[in-house]
Amino acid sequence: MTLKITPLSGTIGAEISGIDLRNLSNSEFDAVHRAFLDHAVLCFRDQDLTPDDQIAFARRWGEIHDHPYLNGLPDHPEIIEIVKEAGERNRFGAYWHTDQIFTPTPAMATMLYAKEVPPVGGDTMFASLTSAYDALSDGMKAMASRLRTFNLYDKQSPRSKRMAEKIPNRETAAEPATHPLVRIHPETKKPALYVNGMPTTTHFVGMTQDESQPLIRHFLKHATRPEFTCRIRWSPGTLGIWDNRCLLHMALDDYPDYRRVMHRITIKGDATIGIHDLEAAE
Ligand code: SIN
């Protein structure tokens, strides 16, 4: 088999064919890792993975991240099973976000393995925070590079309360975390507009919520412009992995009559570095 990389859009995303994730040589993994840095989100179709296979593939990317408040599968605690039953509204990830921005060391990558999917709908969308930063005016780039975001897993928010039944460890949710709005990717060194919507990114450090929110909304609207996005259409056996350091993602809630089951693993990340930290170090 020969590894083939097919872009998913003009900006981000690629489908990789010609490999079996259960038997990946070191050189194949290096090629996949290079593609991950180049395209930010990858998908692999028709993979036949047991939970142990998925965990073994995840470990090649780094240490598996224990979610602060979601429980994993009883026999495989590294894997969080995301289940939406037919007739239920999808509440997990159905808004633009980057994983665990509310912790000091947000997840580097997230991996989803599709177990059961609707015949149509239930795609995951991605938006490039690198393209979003690049498209800002010079004046806005200069202002954004001085801002830090304040991020909180708000246990009292209506969305969080609705999620309560899916969050058994909810009381141990993480403390607030601040991050540079312009985050430098630790591997590609590219700047990204690192922001989440409400309720997670509540305000900019040193500013009020009233002052911050119009700007946060502007950045989110800008970052999710269609030309900065791609989507994965899932089928059973598709594995997707994405780079939370430079992407937003969103689960689409457009399949009311069907069940969807995904196995999710997150990979540990580093403390965030801002564009100013990098300039100061040079
Ligand atoms: C997530 O936000 O991690 C879940 C995405 C999805 O279910 O498509």
Q: Is 264 a catalytic residue?
A: yes
Nearest atom (ligand 1) to Cα of 252: 8
Average pLDDT over residues 113-135: 97
Amino acid letter for position 109: A
Residue 82 CB less than 6 A away from ligand 1:
yes
Residue nearest to atom 8 of ligand 1 (CA): 251
Return the pLDDT at 142.
96
Please count the CA atoms within 13 angstroms of the CA of 238 that sit on its side-chain side: 22
Angle (nearest 5°) at CA 132 between 41 and 154 = 80
Return the pLDDT at 159.
52
Residue 122 CB less than 6 A away from ligand 1:
no
State the catalytic residue, choosing from 65, 67, 97, 245. Answer: 97
Residue from 141, 96, 61 nearest 250 by CA: 96
How far, in Å, CA of 129 to CA of 150, rounded? Answer: 18
Residue 111 CB less than 6 A away from ligand 1:
no
Q: Is 39 a catalytic residue?
A: no
Distance of CA 111 from the midpoint of ligand 1 (Å)? 9
Structure tokens at 31: 């090629």
Distance of CA 180 from the midpoint of ligand 1 (Å)? 24
Quick one: pLDDT band at residue 158, thresholds 50, 70, 90? low
Return the pLDDT at 277.
80
Residue 262 CB less than 6 A away from ligand 1:
yes
Residue 124 near residue 250, CB atoms below 8 Å = yes
How far, in Å, CA of 133 to CA of 193, rounded? Answer: 5
Q: With a cut of 90, say whether residue 197 has pLDDT above it.
A: no
State the catalytic residue, choosing from 99, 183, 185, 203. Answer: 99
Q: With a cut of 90, say whether residue 213 has pLDDT above it.
A: yes
Q: With a cut of 70, say whether residue 155 has pLDDT above it.
A: no
Q: Give the CA diameter of the chain.
A: 56
Q: Is 254 a catalytic residue?
A: no
Q: Which pTM was predicted? A: 0.92
Residue 110 CB less than 6 A away from ligand 1:
yes
Residue-range domains of the chain with CATH: 4-281 (3.60.130.10)
